Structure 1
Amino acid sequence: MKSEKKIKKKHYNDNFAIGYINITIHGFAFVNIKGFQKDVFIPKNKTNRSLEGDLVKIIFNKKNRKGIKIEGEVLKVIKRKTKNFIGILKMNFQYNSKYGLVIVNNNSIHVDIFIPIDNFNKYNHNDKVLVEIISWPKKLKNPLGKIIKVFGKSGEYKTEIFSLLEEYKITYEFPKEVEEEAKKIHSKEIYDINSEIRRDMRNINTFTIDPFNAKDFDDALSIRKLNNETWEIGVHISDVSHYIEEGSFIDQEAYSRATSIYFIGKVIPMLPKILSNDLCSLQPKKDRLSFSYIFNIDNKGKILKNWFGKTIIQSNRRFTYEEIQEIIDKKKGDFHEEIYNLFLFSKILTKKRLKNGSIYLEKIEVKFHLDEKKNPISLDLKKNNDAHRLIEEFMLLANRKISEFVSLNFNETPSNKLFIYRIHDKPDFQKIFLLKKIIEPLGYFLDFNRLKTSINCLLKKIKGKPEQNMIENLILRAMSKARYSTKNIGHYGLSFFHYTHFTSPIRRYSDIIAHRLLSYYLKKVNNSFNKTNEKTYKLKTMEFYEKQSEHCSYKERLAIDAERDFLKYIQVKYIKKFLGEEFYGIITGFTGWSVYIDLLLFQTEGMVRLRDIKEDYYVLDSNNYSIIGKKKRKIYHLGDKVKVKLIDVNLERKQIILSWIDELDKQENTKK
């Protein structure tokens, strides 16, 4: 083929090829070769001690009728993708009296690793360990390894946390030089009272609203009535960039981490706690430096005036979401007039945002309560309430207005347009089409001609229905992933043409970038900014900020994946206590050998093997996203409600195993 002719000989010739191998759980493999349209099949006994992701050299041994090479054999491993794996140590020696086993419970390796019994007195059966492959003798079917780190007993909280951090290459402890630098920053005076750069807001009622267990308070709100028609509202964000000098040890470490990670019961902060939980945190009754968006708004929700700049604030009180919700409901309590008016303004902002096409997706959040030993003892299924929405709307507004301010006011030259945007592309049409096909048997529809409005109508219709969680997840999967970029394409989901992340600099490095850039632009138009003794920020190239944007986006996805992985561990550990009990669930997916069920009571997914369904022999109908019984021709679709029994859990693999009990009346499923 034409494309194949352009490939250099180092990738392949008539008999040999070089590529990356993908080994299935069944042992056979496929090698991806640059320039080939299809991967080359490698039989199970021809992988020659290669592992998932290795760069290998293969020899071709079979072609199809058209002469296209379709099967090969691995000659040698050129480069290992990795030599280190995390797994569970088994010391029962049932395979070989000379070795123990490390079983790796993910798809990164298809064989167990033998560990020589020397020095086994250091380890225990079922320890979770980091093992390094040191050799793979031809006489053995398994590689040999050595244990280089022990995390603890498999299944325990600390063990799972620290092994997960290792797996995702997430740094936990801060380097000594970073901690020392943080202490020096903390020991300095936090502000210069005579500085002309800062607007003094300490005499205005101000408060923070956060989860009950939060310690890093990024944002605060202030509000005061100017006259019968006008209010002044301030969105105050911790001025982290004032303390974190670009290029310093702390700045380099914060950039490397790029985000705080929130596990159940533990936070891996982006900044040392002496800063994130103290100096930079907008704590009550303490003077704090902030970067603020202050605006005047009339009673109809029209914004009359905008101001951006540095401030000094003092929070009057720290509120939890629960306390704010109670004040909204009862219209009494501390600062109830200010809070209720903020609530009314937030409702106006929400209405305007939805009218402009913003998608209104509210996911149920699973909140676990842990005991003293960090074991899950109970859970709550929580949705955002008015208190959450109040904060959300003002943060969305601040992020939008700051982005607009930079984008619309500094356009003399291309360099002056430099900014970091939070962008969200249009959804993938194929995924939206798939969503449409899946929901139609459930009685729902999508209109491609007015997609956002149609999605919002769908979200309203499914509210409170058993299939709500499944359809919301399908909508999320159909959407593009939001990311950071210097190239602004707008935010599809929010229907904002200009949007950034500015409001969480304690936990997101992207926001520190936005703070630095806004400071630079304000100095161009604000004389008082130029009188400050702060160092002048020097604008970098577009390529510099784009690289930082890509890094922040990558680290964000990594953090989300790690958080979800740990949540699944907690969910499986919690549900184990319900073994033998029956539950209702919604069918959320099919494979050729299993059905996935979302357990409504827990909002977590379990699996039923098709072969374990006794009422009939079921086969997958992939075109219609359903399974069909061979004898009775009964059909189960995605979204159908079924009854299942919890029969087993595998904590190491984070799997929930269910058995099929009965189908509910189809009429009940179709009631909307």
Structure 2
Amino acid sequence: MAKNKASNIKAVLNQLVSDIFEKNGNQLLNYKQVSAKLNLNDEESKKTILEILKEGKTSGAFLEPSPGKFKIKDLKNFLIGRVDMTADGSAYIVPDDEFEKDVFVAPRKLRNALHGDTVKVYVFAKKNGRKNEGEVVEIIKRAKSDFTGVIKLSDKFAFVMADDKKMMHDIFVPLSEIGEAKNGQKVLVTLTDWPEGAKNPIGTIKHVLGDQGDNETEMNAILAQYGFPLSFPKEVEAEANAISAKITDTEIEKRKDFREALTFTIDPADAKDFDDAISYQQLPNGNHQIGVHIADVSHYVIEGTELDKEAYARATSVYLVDRVIPMLPESLSNNLCSLRPKEDKLCFSAVFELDNEANVKEEWFGRTVIHSDRRFAYEEAQEVLENKAGDCVEALLKLNELAYILRDRKFKNGAISFESTEVKFQLDDNGKPIGVFVKERKDAHKLIEDYMLLANRKVAEFIAKKGKGNKKLTFVYRVHDSPKLESLEAFATFASRFGYKINTKTDKEIAKSLNYLMADVEGKKEQNILTSLAIRSMAKAIYTTKKTSHYGLAFDYYTHFTSPIRRYPDVMAHRLLQSYLDDKKSADAELYEAACAHSSSMEKRAAEAERASIKYKQAEYLENNIGTAYKGIISGVTEWGMYVEIEENKCEGMIRLRDIADDFYVLDEKNYCIIGQRKHKKYQLGDEVMIRVKKVDLSKRQIDFTLIPD
């Protein structure tokens, strides 16, 4: 224990010594001067500092230009970045500065850094033709300290084997820290220590999730793995439950009253939280007043309350295969804020007057009160549109007619239509998948989407134009950069193998040819692969206070205003919009930019959790089909295998290269294929193959296939 303590002290001192040189402009210092600047004048500390300087000279971190006088070899040789772990335990450090190149770090030089951690790395002098290599000198920030996994108990200790494939180390847990955990159960473990030189980190069991294979256990394990809480804190629930549902006359007087306007919601059949409603009125001049009414979450969730802090921390609702983990407690998300039919509800609205060509003639933004006349499921609204009969038929038909014009205009302006196949599972009462079906997007879905896009676009435009130049107003925008030409050209090369041409000359030409491609591949076997690769070649949409355009939608101005029950950025947009409608000064840009970065990060994490739940259900579905043969399409290639998506049910698994017996296959990354070294047989992304389900590992959410020869 004493040895570990000494190692920890030395590790801290190591960083402090480097900091002294950096702060003093890298001037020559001896160990006594460094000790004095650190105010560590005892003999033991001086001795340790001298050791650090000498060891640093040996490793190449320090120079000794004159006897006993040291300096950092090259201040530029240090950079800050994020750890991207590879399958063999080495890592690439992805620098914060996008102009810097990634730095390779061998496993022994990672200094206990884990995937996603922010670290300081020393970059070695580059040898001719070699990639950048370095060594981690400081872990600045852990990406996470909680891991889910399976606990293995012995007589004297326990280990947790993490679910996270990029967590390369089992976590040691003293028996005194295992709580009620039983051998083989799924648990949530928190790292508490990792002594220098120790092979494994030390942890304590934070939560026993339950038995492996149990649906509740596995879904909770996915949530915990991605850092989402399994329940709301008691004080947050209490605060939410204490909010009165009564809408006072005083509150109604402050708002525009839309309770007499024909209003309805259109949502999935199983939805419980209704964020948005549409109202429709034909005006005497022949134009159409269309109200996009959004739940006024900011009226109930007051800035700085425990409820607000929890909503900010979560930043988004999480949608797993069999459940929704809401951003707000149920009393708000499903009741108070939800725009349920036949109830008065408080909203924040964007109201438009559209002519018969869907041009916006007038617009108004502000707080309202509404009364929804009807709750439609998508299927019910679609039936009205197709049969031209039923509830609200005239309003729905006119709304759909105008939505078509808005949609066509968007695509003519350069928007891109990505219509990937969305798979849904049919589950039994225990959450087990008993069927798979493809979700269809019809006019009823698109109609709602078009009016939400209109509201988001016009709110962003209103704010951006309200404050220009020095009077620019801080706001939360949703932005999407144009794709990098290199990525797009690689995709164009691949798409050409299927006979599709992508014109990469201008943004409009790119969008036009991508839309032709998306329309052409719809319903074909290669749709999912080409759509997924096209999306991958695009930049990722993010939240930011820095207004730029949204490339994918071809909008100059865009925000997220329409889903505050499930997205925190929308709550921020509501608050800021109301503040500016009240002519208040611009909000703190730095504060909101940090909130935007947090929201973007949590959105990404929620998407990963959703994908993990789909992977689990795919594995569970195929568990009862071991040995069954299917037709599939190659959806990915790596150095250790190729991924295949089954055409019938869209489940994806891997054929490992070592299991293909007729040759020795290697990856040709540039051409998205694997090639046999003797017979030169090629398996390429998009090829059709016959496979057999070989093995399913539910705990790892992995499906293994074997290839059935031609």
TM-score (norm 1): 0.85
- Do the aligned residues in 2 keep the contact of 1:415 with 1:542 (CA within 8 Å)? no
Partners in 2 of 1:100 and 1:74 — Cα distance? 29
- Do the aligned residues in 1 keep the contact of 2:103 with 2:134 (CA within 8 Å)? no
CA shift for structure 1 position 23? 6.5
Residue equivalent to 2:595: 548
1:18-45 deviation digits (Å, cap 9, x = unpaired): 999877544567789999978566477x
Partners in 2 of 1:417 and 1:274 — Cα distance? 34
CA shift for structure 1 position 299? 2.6
Residue equivalent to 1:214: 271
2:500 equivalent among 426, 444, 462: 444
Partners in 2 of 1:629 and 1:565 — Cα distance? 32
1:3-32 deviation digits (Å, cap 9, x = unpaired): xx9896999943235999877544567789
Partners in 1 of 2:401 and 2:141 — Cα distance? 61
Matches within 5 A, 1:426-445: 426-445=482-501
Matches within 5 A, 1:221-370: 221-227=278-284, 229-370=286-427
CA shift for structure 1 position 469? 0.1
Seen in structure 2, the aligned counterparts of structure 1 residues 81 and 542 have a Cα distance that, compared at 3 Å, is closer
Partners in 2 of 1:121 and 1:500 — Cα distance? 46
- Do the aligned residues in 1 keep the contact of 2:92 with 2:104 (CA within 8 Å)? yes
Partners in 2 of 1:391 and 1:33 — Cα distance? 41
Residue equivalent to 1:423: 479
Check if 1:86 corresponds to 2:145: no
Q: Which range moves more in the overlay, 581-590 or 468-477? A: 581-590
CA shift for structure 1 position 318? 0.6
Residue equivalent to 1:600: 647
2:540 equivalent among 481, 485, 501: 481
Question: Counterpart of 1:103 in 2: which secondary structure?
Answer: strand
Partners in 1 of 2:405 and 2:132 — Cα distance? 62
CA shift for structure 1 position 477? 0.7
Seen in structure 2, the aligned counterparts of structure 1 residues 110 and 505 have a Cα distance that, compared at 3 Å, is closer
Question: Counterpart of 1:448 in 2: which secondary structure?
Answer: coil
Seen in structure 2, the aligned counterparts of structure 1 residues 100 and 222 have a Cα distance that, compared at 3 Å, is same
Matches within 5 A, 1:629-640: 629-640=676-687
- Do the aligned residues in 1 keep the contact of 2:148 with 2:164 (CA within 8 Å)? no
Seen in structure 2, the aligned counterparts of structure 1 residues 103 and 589 have a Cα distance that, compared at 3 Å, is same
Seen in structure 2, the aligned counterparts of structure 1 residues 307 and 41 have a Cα distance that, compared at 3 Å, is closer
CA shift for structure 1 position 47? 7.8
Matched letter for residue 177 of structure 1? E
Residue equivalent to 1:190: 247
1:569 equivalent among 616, 621, 642: 616
Residue equivalent to 1:403: 460
1:564-599 deviation digits (Å, cap 9, x = unpaired): 222211221122222111111111221222111122
Matched letter for residue 689 of structure 2? V
Check if 1:14 corresponds to 2:70: no
Partners in 1 of 2:414 and 2:655 — Cα distance? 39
1:526-567 deviation digits (Å, cap 9, x = unpaired): xxxxxxxxxxx6642222222222222222112112222222
2:692 equivalent among 621, 645, 658: 645
Question: Counterpart of 1:419 in 2: which secondary structure?
Answer: coil
- Do the aligned residues in 1 keep the contact of 2:296 with 2:348 (CA within 8 Å)? yes
CA shift for structure 1 position 77? 9.8
1:202-240 deviation digits (Å, cap 9, x = unpaired): 112110011111111111011122248322221111122
Residue equivalent to 2:527: 468
Matched letter for residue 281 of structure 1? S
CA shift for structure 1 position 328? 1.1
Question: Counterpart of 1:377 in 2: which secondary structure?
Answer: strand
- Do the aligned residues in 1 keep the contact of 2:151 with 2:159 (CA within 8 Å)? yes
Matched letter for residue 629 of structure 1? G
CA shift for structure 1 position 386? 0.9
Seen in structure 2, the aligned counterparts of structure 1 residues 612 and 327 have a Cα distance that, compared at 3 Å, is same
Check if 1:167 corresponds to 2:225: yes
CA shift for structure 1 position 451? 0.7
CA shift for structure 1 position 630? 2.8
Question: Counterpart of 2:675 in 1: which secondary structure?
Answer: strand
Matched letter for residue 618 of structure 1? Y
CA shift for structure 1 position 63? 9.6
Q: Which range moves more in the overlay, 270-279 or 106-115? A: 106-115
Seen in structure 2, the aligned counterparts of structure 1 residues 129 and 415 have a Cα distance that, compared at 3 Å, is same
- Do the aligned residues in 1 keep the contact of 2:86 with 2:166 (CA within 8 Å)? no
Question: Counterpart of 1:324 in 2: which secondary structure?
Answer: helix
Seen in structure 2, the aligned counterparts of structure 1 residues 52 and 336 have a Cα distance that, compared at 3 Å, is closer
Residue equivalent to 2:561: 502
CA shift for structure 1 position 196? 4.1
Seen in structure 2, the aligned counterparts of structure 1 residues 444 and 55 have a Cα distance that, compared at 3 Å, is closer
Matched letter for residue 112 of structure 1? D
Partners in 2 of 1:621 and 1:329 — Cα distance? 49
- Do the aligned residues in 1 keep the contact of 2:146 with 2:225 (CA within 8 Å)? no
CA shift for structure 1 position 435? 0.6
1:48-107 deviation digits (Å, cap 9, x = unpaired): 9886678999999x999879999999999999876653211245x6xxx75554322333
Partners in 1 of 2:414 and 2:95 — Cα distance? 44
Partners in 1 of 2:694 and 2:302 — Cα distance? 55
Matched letter for residue 334 of structure 1? D
CA shift for structure 1 position 489? 0.8
Matched letter for residue 270 of structure 2? N
Check if 1:654 corresponds to 2:701: yes
Q: Which range moves more in the overlay, 286-295 or 544-553? A: 544-553
Question: Counterpart of 1:251 in 2: which secondary structure?
Answer: helix
CA shift for structure 1 position 661? 0.9
Partners in 1 of 2:405 and 2:93 — Cα distance? 56
Seen in structure 2, the aligned counterparts of structure 1 residues 224 and 27 have a Cα distance that, compared at 3 Å, is closer
- How many residues get paired? 639
- Do the aligned residues in 2 keep the contact of 1:584 with 1:599 (CA within 8 Å)? yes
Seen in structure 2, the aligned counterparts of structure 1 residues 210 and 84 have a Cα distance that, compared at 3 Å, is closer
What is the alpha-carbon root mean square deviation over aligned residues?
3.7
CA shift for structure 1 position 658? 0.5
Seen in structure 2, the aligned counterparts of structure 1 residues 467 and 194 have a Cα distance that, compared at 3 Å, is closer
Seen in structure 2, the aligned counterparts of structure 1 residues 415 and 611 have a Cα distance that, compared at 3 Å, is same
1:239-297 deviation digits (Å, cap 9, x = unpaired): 22222222222222222221111222222211221111111111111111112222222
Partners in 1 of 2:133 and 2:293 — Cα distance? 63
Partners in 2 of 1:358 and 1:144 — Cα distance? 51
Check if 1:125 corresponds to 2:183: yes
Partners in 1 of 2:285 and 2:422 — Cα distance? 40
- Do the aligned residues in 1 keep the contact of 2:483 with 2:539 (CA within 8 Å)? yes
Check if 1:455 corresponds to 2:514: yes
Question: Counterpart of 1:208 in 2: which secondary structure?
Answer: strand
TM-score (norm 2): 0.81
Partners in 2 of 1:78 and 1:492 — Cα distance? 35
Question: Counterpart of 2:271 in 1: which secondary structure?
Answer: coil
Q: Mind listing any 5+ residue stretches in structure 2 that lack a counterpart?
A: 1-20, 28-51, 62-77
Matched letter for residue 85 of structure 1? F
CA shift for structure 1 position 342? 1.3
Seen in structure 2, the aligned counterparts of structure 1 residues 630 and 344 have a Cα distance that, compared at 3 Å, is same
Partners in 1 of 2:125 and 2:474 — Cα distance? 54
Partners in 2 of 1:460 and 1:69 — Cα distance? 42
Question: Counterpart of 1:379 in 2: which secondary structure?
Answer: strand
CA shift for structure 1 position 146? 4.8
Matched letter for residue 672 of structure 2? Y
- Do the aligned residues in 1 keep the contact of 2:105 with 2:136 (CA within 8 Å)? no
Question: Counterpart of 1:388 in 2: which secondary structure?
Answer: helix
CA shift for structure 1 position 198? 1.8
- Do the aligned residues in 1 keep the contact of 2:146 with 2:227 (CA within 8 Å)? no
1:373-413 deviation digits (Å, cap 9, x = unpaired): 222222211131111001000100111112222222343x6
